[in-house]
Amino acid sequence: MAETSYAACGDLSLAYQVFGDGPVELVLVGPFITHVEIFWAMPEYKAFFDQLATFCRVLLFDKAGVGLSDPIPKIRLLEERAAEIEAVMDAAGFTKPVLFGMSEGGPQSIVFAAKRPERTRALIIYGSFAFAPGGSWDDLECDPAELRARVLAEVGEEYTPSSSQIENFQEFVRAVRSAWGSGASAKWGSQMAPSIRGTRQAEILERMCASPGMIRATLETNFRLDVRLILPTLSVPTLVIHARDDLMPVQCGRYLALAFPARGTSRVTVQGRCVAGIGTLLTRATLSRGGAGYSIGAPGNANSSSSGPTDATAAQRTEPCGVATIAREHRG
């Protein structure tokens, strides 16, 4: 495990780690809960970190309010979260890294890239969203079919989660909202961290990563996030990755790939539920060119691209690591 340090962000202190000695700087902007030290004890995250460290210099940090960073009285705005990214970059001496935004870290990375393109080499958005797939915070008790009809009218069939996906997401949020710290997330462990195999493990992780009040505030804010108007302003190469069985419906990843400016955007859909195996799909060559033109070949090989199809089903193969992928090639 890497050494933990602290970066100043206004009056707050943010816990961060730097590891790996590769030539590519990469900042991991994590999901709604993180703990820079506990995550190393989770096999899927350790394998992910170890793989990235072979070709990247990685910056991992806890956002304000979670993990080892300072607590906060209220949830931060997206602009404040973007400032946290820059604060840890400055402390670690990172100049122009690739940003890897996971789940709610996706919108935060998107805002940073829009505000500070001169400090963003590229974006990788994993298991994320442009807007909440389950309606607003006040819609948690609404009929999933009704919520689906609303989204369908806005974005169309291909980018609308099914009623069962919305129901699963609602159930997760209700459980977390009412019983955080008692293993509320255990039922969804396989969708977030397969190594969490019981209520006891889940409750320890929950309590170590965030307080019940912080989680409620975070989830409520996530329901209010909407970066759709920001997406067309982005100018950096972008790779969108989404696991088919992620807690965040895969249609959200499809929408992101559609909404980003066409030039330099790729999309990869992977079988599975979590970060396990994702590090294998990323290569030094891919990140060195900012993720553009991304195509899946054997692990460690980023050169098996075709002539540039734009349909999401245009290229398909199964990796030796057992991860089946469908790639949208570089557009433009």
The reported pLDDT for the residue numbered 251 is 93
Residue 195, amino acid: S
The reported pLDDT for the residue numbered 279 is 57
CA 131 – CA 118 distance, rounded (Å): 26
Sheet-wide strand order for 315-318: 4-9, 12-19, 56-61, 24-29, 98-102, 122-126, 238-243, 265-270, 324-328, 315-318
Radius of gyration of the chain, Cα coordinates, nearest whole angstrom:
18
Q: Which fold has domain 4-134+225-328?
A: Rossmann fold (3.40.50)
Structural contact between residues 17 and 94, judged by C-beta atoms closer than 8 angstroms: no
Residue found under tokens 């553009």: 292
The reported pLDDT for the residue numbered 287 is 56
Q: Mean pLDDT by 10-residue block, N- to C-terminus, for the chain (332 residues)? A: 96 97 94 93 88 93 96 88 97 96 95 96 93 81 92 92 93 90 79 71 89 88 89 91 87 89 68 57 53 34 28 27 29 37
The reported pLDDT for the residue numbered 218 is 85
Q: What is the dihedral of CA 19, 40, 319, 263, to 10 degrees?
A: -50
Q: Where are the alpha helices (DSSP H) in the chain?
A: 43-53, 78-92, 105-115, 144-155, 163-179, 189-192, 199-209, 212-224, 250-259, 278-281, 284-288
The reported pLDDT for the residue numbered 264 is 62
CA 90 – CA 7 distance, rounded (Å): 8
Q: Which of 175, 176, 152, 177 is nearest to 163 (CA)?
A: 152
Structural contact between residues 247 and 168, judged by C-beta atoms closer than 8 angstroms: yes
